[in-house]
């Protein structure tokens, strides 16, 4: 519960209680795993050899292990985690809009991605080993194909939702910066506007958050030869973004590539820092001309 509250109230990249987002994700999974193991240990008494009705009624053990433990505790707990995570992509009942912190959505996407890859298999295997329907027979594995498929689907939905939310936040920052200015009476701009400084700072913050949970990733080169030469010339001439000293050089490199290469705004978001950051930047680059219109 404390991890959930900390994630929900987090608005910065600074570690909460000394923990990074990656460590909090690990702690969140530990709470799930420890809770399941504790529940299984509590009901282990029902299949001990000393229990009379368990020895006399073999059908009790089969039904108890398969239906009440494996399905009723292990699988239902996993389904509950998936159902709970899914609610963070839906409008809040209190205010009728998506008001959940992006940090929480990002962390849950990583949690479900980890569960799809390894954690669900471990949880189900643990329950299968502790509660076999036949004490002296082979261990019958519980089917996991459907729950693994759903975990991957919900993880992707959360990640797509995070990109959309962050892209919308930055787009609104740009819109408010443009709406607040009386353009008919303003003087000729001679420096970078403060709203763009805030945008760069926000992207830098997002870069740190995503980097604490996802690996860098690789970008597919889709630009033409001419665009690559122009991009290379721009870098060699030392042209970069102002106020970029706090940003990762690879992030700046890929921001510049967006201006020289073809971009697909609503493409698939992959489980990498580069893909997530690129998806967010695509959205507010697409929104900027719409605001001017």
* Better-scored residue on pLDDT, 199 or 9: 199
pLDDT of residue 60: 80
| Average pLDDT of every residue of the chain | 76
Confidence band, pLDDT 50/70/90 cuts, at residue 290: low
- Calculate mean pLDDT across residues 240-249: 51
- Calculate mean pLDDT across residues 28-38: 93
Confidence band, pLDDT 50/70/90 cuts, at residue 14: very low
pTM: 0.75
Q: List the one residue out of 212, 217, 26 whose CA is nearest residue 119.
A: 26
Q: Are 170 and 284 in contact (CB under 8 A)?
A: yes
pLDDT of residue 115: 94
Q: Please give the backbone phi and psi of residue 78, each rounded to the nearest 5 degrees, phi first.
A: -65, -45
CA distance 245 to 213: 22
The Cα angle at residue 206 between residues 95 and 274, in degrees rounded to 5: 125
pLDDT of residue 20: 85
Burial of 23 (0-12, 13-18, 19+ CB in 10 A): middle
% pLDDT > 70, the chain:
62
**Residue-wise pLDDT tens digits, 66-81:** 889 999 999 999 999 9
**82: its two tokens:** 């998936």
């Amino acid at each position: 519960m404390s991890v959930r509250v900390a994630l929900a109230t987090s608005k910065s990249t600074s570690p909460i209680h000394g923990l990074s987002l990656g460590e909090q994700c690990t702690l969140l999974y530990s709470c799930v795993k420890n809770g399941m193991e504790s529940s299984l240990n509590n009901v282990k008494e029902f299949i001990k050899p000393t229990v009379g009705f368990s020895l006399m009624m073999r059908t009790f053990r089969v039904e108890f292990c398969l239906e009440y433990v494996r399905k009723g505790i292990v699988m239902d707990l996993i389904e509950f985690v998936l159902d709970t995570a899914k609610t963070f992509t839906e409008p809040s009942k209190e205010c009728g809009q998506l008001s959940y912190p992006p940090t929480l959505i990002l962390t849950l996407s990583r949690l479900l991605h980890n569960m799809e890859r390894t954690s669900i298999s471990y949880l189900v295997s643990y329950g299968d080993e502790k509660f076999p329907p036949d004490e002296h027979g082979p261990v019958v594995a519980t089917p996991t194909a459907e729950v693994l498929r759903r975990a991957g689907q919900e993880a992707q939905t959360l990640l797509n939702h995070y990109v959309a939310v962050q892209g919308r936040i930055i787009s609104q920052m740009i819109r408010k910066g443009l709406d607040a200015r009386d353009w008919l009476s303003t003087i000729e701009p001679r420096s970078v506007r403060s709203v763009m400084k805030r945008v760069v700072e926000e992207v830098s913050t997002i870069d740190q958050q995503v980097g604490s949970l996802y690996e860098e990733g690789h970008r597919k080169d889709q630009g033409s030869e001419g665009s690559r030469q122009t991009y290379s010339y721009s870098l060699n001439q030392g042209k970069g973004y102002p106020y970029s000293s706090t940003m990762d050089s690879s992030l700046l490199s890929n921001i510049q590539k967006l201006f020289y290469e073809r971009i697909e705004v609503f493409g698939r978001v992959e489980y990498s820092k580069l893909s997530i950051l690129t998806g967010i930047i695509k959205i507010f680059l697409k929104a900027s001309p719409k605001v001017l219109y």
